Amino acid sequence: MTGVVISAWSALSPFGHGRTAFADGVRRGVPVDPVSTKDDWAAADAYVVPDFDIVAQLGRKGTGSMDRTSALAVATVRELGAPNPTTGVVLGTTSGSARTQFEFTRDSLTRRRPYFVNPAQMPFALMNSAAAQAAMWHGLTGPNSTIAAGRNSGPAVLRYATRLLRTGRASGVFAGAVEEHSGARELLERGQTLGEGCVLLFLQTAEVGNRAALAEVVASDTRFSDGAPGRALTESLRQVGVAADEVWGLALSTATPELSEVEEEAAGEVLGQRIGTVVRPGRLMGDTGAASGVFALAALLAHAEVDERARGRLAVATSVDRDGTAGCVVLRLTGSQKAWGER
């Protein structure tokens, strides 16, 4: 096996904390129960990571102004552990923590002059806060990047991370995405039940990796077709050149009804309707935004762990967004269950 491989993964999701909780949840296929949420900006039912209190999870030091997005990322890296200080972090997002950005902007307009905002909150209002905090908390000194690609963060992050590895910029990369739930995000994403979570894949080159690999990253691609995400996804799938008879599993990542229909039609046009394993994690835990594409990959890995038919075959995860962007990731599954796991 050559190229870039996935050696491990973990997640904090509405199913619970860690790889096992997510894998068990998606294999059962029973939707999580949404819970009622409320903050200064909006009240709504949502799929949230259960029992996730920032101070309880990470302690008091350094968390006084930490947003939920950064805390989810820091805690997910901890689930995996840091194999090497030179490991990089590539994290997908929509725009960072919408709640922190809303609050910081409100304070700048409403607090007394000279606009006494909380300076400790400023770093967490930046889009790259989660990736930076994940690296600093765990002493990771490799490349640190944030990819703001919304629901197409999955393929965008995988493409960027594999390029880092193939050019020798990092010995390994935590590649994934994070999205928090908040009232601010409810205002920005109306008309759907939102979810949240963080999911990370640990990537290495096959030559460097000394642990069993779960899958090889065969291809990742993103496309844009103005106002026509279905056309963009069709072009993306044709670009990677997947033969339908090689495909064991397909993950459709989108949770919103109108986009789900577009995604399913485009995938069916290129790959046909005879794929044996089709997973739709968004139907189980809501619209997780930037994290949806990487959750789709994790769902495929979870199903492959218990299905011998997956060995040596391809798994495809797709994503689409309203602006006309779309993408896909293709993995070749090894069938190995011996990759290193969570702490």
What pLDDT is attached to residue 1? 42
User: Which domain, by its residues, includes 154?
Assistant: 4-205
Residues 283 and 177 in one domain: no
What is the band of 121 on the pLDDT scale with cuts at 50, 70, 90? confident
Peptide bond into 114 cis (omega under 30): yes
- Cα–Cα distance for residue pair 78/91, rounded to 1 Å: 15
Read off the pLDDT of each residue in 135-158 and give the average, rounded to a whole number. Answer: 96
Residues 250 and 273 in one domain: yes
pLDDT digits (tens, 9 = 90+) for 180-204: 999 999 999 987 899 999 999 999 9
CA distances from 298 to 65, 131, 163 (A): 30, 19, 21
Residue 342 lies in a domain: no
Residues 60 and 123 in one domain: yes
* DSSP structure string for 94-159: SSS-HHHHHHHHHHHHHSPTTT---GGGGGGGSTTHHHHHHHHHHT--S-EEEEE-GGGHHHHHHH
| CATH number of 283's domain | 3.40.47.10
Q: Give 176-215 as a 3 state SS string.
A: EEEECCCHHHHHHCCCCCEECEEEEEEEEECCCCCCCCCE
Residue 224 lies in a domain: yes
Q: Which of 126-140, 155-169, 201-215, 275-289 has the lowest mean pLDDT?
A: 201-215
Residues 160 and 53 in one domain: yes
**Cα angle, residue 216 at apex, residues 155 and 323 outer, rounded to 5°:** 10
What pLDDT is attached to residue 9? 97
Residues 190 and 260 in one domain: no
Residues 132 and 274 in one domain: no
**Do residues 93 and 127 touch, judged by C-beta distance below 8 A?**
yes
CA distances from 279 to 40, 211, 320 (A): 35, 27, 15
Residues 10 and 159 in one domain: yes
**Do residues 87 and 142 touch, judged by C-beta distance below 8 A?**
yes
Residue 339 lies in a domain: no
Residues 171 and 43 in one domain: yes
Residues 86 and 195 in one domain: yes
Q: How many domains does the chain have?
A: 2
- Is the pLDDT confidence value at 112 over 90? no
224 has which bridge partners? 325
**Cα angle, residue 213 at apex, residues 284 and 156 outer, rounded to 5°:** 55
- Cα–Cα distance for residue pair 197/190, rounded to 1 Å: 19
Q: How many residues does the chain have?
A: 343
Q: Is 27 helix (H, G, I), strand (E, B) or coil?
A: helix
Instruction: Output the pTM of the full model.
Output: 0.94
Q: Which of 105-114, 140-149, 170-179 has the lowest mean pLDDT?
A: 105-114
Last residue of a domain, one of 205, 230, 251: 205
What pLDDT is attached to residue 206? 81
Q: What are phi and psi of 330, to 5 degrees?
A: -115, 125
Residue 280 lies in a domain: yes
Residues 34 and 113 in one domain: yes
Residues 175 and 36 in one domain: yes
To 10 degrees, what angle do helices 292-304 and 19-28 make?
Answer: 80
